[in-house]
């Protein structure tokens, strides 16, 4: 945990300082949030905050006891990850409105890079139950981490199916990670914390509020390579998650249902409108997201740990193709080292060649 994590938390708790403004502050102060915490009003205004926001934040700042806040987090058994931490999920960090501060119980793992969200209606049918169980079980067998929101219905079934299949699952809360909602999922939440993670952008002790649920859906989508909608009515919250995934340029999948069932209206419309790819089995998702080789890629990463050459090349790559000659020039490494290292990184799933000796980051 960073030494200045208390200041990240403190700034996030000030009135008017939401995710976007906190990211502005972090950028302006080069992630030195202790300096930002003690900054003068003029410095905060130069960082991009409106004068009224600065006045409100500075008025509230003396009332925040950062030491007491950190003790509450510790008592709750929670950890904190900021955007400046290596432990912060890289895929979520790509999202423009990613929360600068994440609270967790449990732990992230390298294999969470290969995550798929499974969401749907709270009033799930027998058909939805069976589909959720089959899809999740088959995805977990390919080492895919399952992400959902711990809600009643499809969400809870997705988490339970992942655990029963011996896999990892991440649950995103609309409350603090110490406040389980719905309460009947307390035991499920504890099991998830033991073999995955409970995640929230809300401070410990925060109660679930109506406005938190749509906001947390962007985190579910942001942690995932793609989102599967199993069953969703016309106004289902799962459709908000699907929309956020589309906005994040992530894949969306939907399971077709009966045209007579109101619980399938949303999912069927996603397919009809070409907003989602039709799913008949887990293979459709695995193929579209190129996840068939995840077990082999994990094994390669265990056998061949990341080295300095890989780190230098990864730092130069993004989702925009870069030619191998340009990578060689920018890295100042010998061409033979770049070529051989890229070949190994492909086997690990860290990079992909997209034609013409041009490379992008993996998945």
Reduced to 3 states (helix: H, G, I; strand: E, B; else coil), residue 65 is coil
pTM of the prediction?
0.83
pLDDT tens by residue, 217-247: 999 999 999 999 999 998 889 999 999 999 9
Using pLDDT thresholds of 50, 70 and 90, give the confidence band for residue 348: confident
Enter the CATH code of domain 294-361: 1.10.10.10
The span from the CA of 123 to the CA of 232, in Å, is 9
In terms of Cα–Cα distance, which of 115, 79, 100, 83 is closest to 193? 79
Q: Where are the domains of the chain?
A: 1-73, 110-288, 294-361
Q: What are the tokens at 223?
A: 């942690």
| Contact by Cβ (8 Å): 363, 289 | yes
Reduced to 3 states (helix: H, G, I; strand: E, B; else coil), residue 240 is helix
Whole-angstrom CA distances from 221 to 4, 51, 186, 278 are: 28, 33, 23, 18
pLDDT tens by residue, 9-54: 999 999 999 888 999 999 999 999 999 999 999 999 999 999 999 9
Enter the CATH code of domain 110-288: 3.40.50.450
The span from the CA of 231 to the CA of 253, in Å, is 11
The DSSP 8-state label assigned to residue 27 in this structure reads H
For residues 308 and 66, the model is more confident at 66
Whole-angstrom CA distances from 284 to 83, 289, 303 are: 33, 9, 29
Phi, psi of 52 (to 5 degrees): -65, -40
């Amino acid at each position: 945990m960073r030494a200045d994590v208390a200041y990240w938390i403190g700034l996030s708790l000030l009135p008017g300082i939401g995710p976007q403004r906190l990211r502005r502050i972090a950028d302006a102060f080069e992630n030195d949030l202790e300096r930002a915490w003690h900054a003068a009003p003029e410095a905060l205004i130069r960082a991009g905050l409106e004068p009224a926001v600065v006045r409100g934040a500075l008025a509230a700042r003396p009332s925040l006891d950062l030491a007491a806040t950190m003790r509450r987090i510790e008592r709750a058994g929670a950890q904190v990850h900021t955007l400046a931490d290596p432990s912060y999920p890289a895929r979520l960090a790509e999202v423009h409105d990613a929360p600068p501060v994440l609270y967790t119980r449990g732990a992230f793992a390298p294999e969470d890079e290969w995550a798929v969200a499974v969401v749907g209606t709270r009033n799930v049918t027998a058909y939805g139950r069976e589909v959720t169980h089959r899809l999740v079980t088959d995805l977990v067998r390919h080492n895919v981490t399952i992400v959902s929101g711990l809600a009643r219905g499809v969400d809870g079934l997705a988490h339970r199916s992942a655990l029963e299949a011996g896999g990892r699952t991440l649950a995103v809360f609309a409350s603090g990670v110490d406040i389980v909602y719905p309460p009947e999922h307390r035991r499920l939440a504890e099991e998830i914390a033991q073999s995955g993670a409970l995640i929230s952008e809300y401070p410990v002790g925060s109660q679930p509020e109506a406005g938190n649920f749509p906001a947390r859906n962007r985190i579910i989508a942001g942690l995932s390579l793609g989102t599967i909608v199993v069953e969703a009515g016309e106004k289902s919250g799962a459709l908000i998650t699907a929309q956020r995934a589309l906005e994040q340029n992530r894949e969306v999948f939907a399971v077709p249902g009966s045209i007579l069932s109101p619980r399938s209206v949303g999912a069927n419309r996603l397919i009809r409108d070409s907003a989602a790819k039709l799913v008949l089995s887990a293979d459709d998702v695995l193929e579209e997201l190129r996840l068939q080789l995840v077990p082999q890629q994990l094994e390669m990463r265990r056998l061949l740990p990341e080295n300095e050459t890989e780190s230098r090349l990864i730092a130069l790559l993004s989702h925009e193709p870069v030619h191998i000659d340009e990578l060689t020039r920018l890295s100042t490494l010998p061409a033979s080292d770049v070529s051989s290292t890229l070949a190994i990184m492909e086997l690990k799933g860290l990079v992909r060649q997209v034609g013409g000796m041009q490379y992008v980051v993996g998945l």
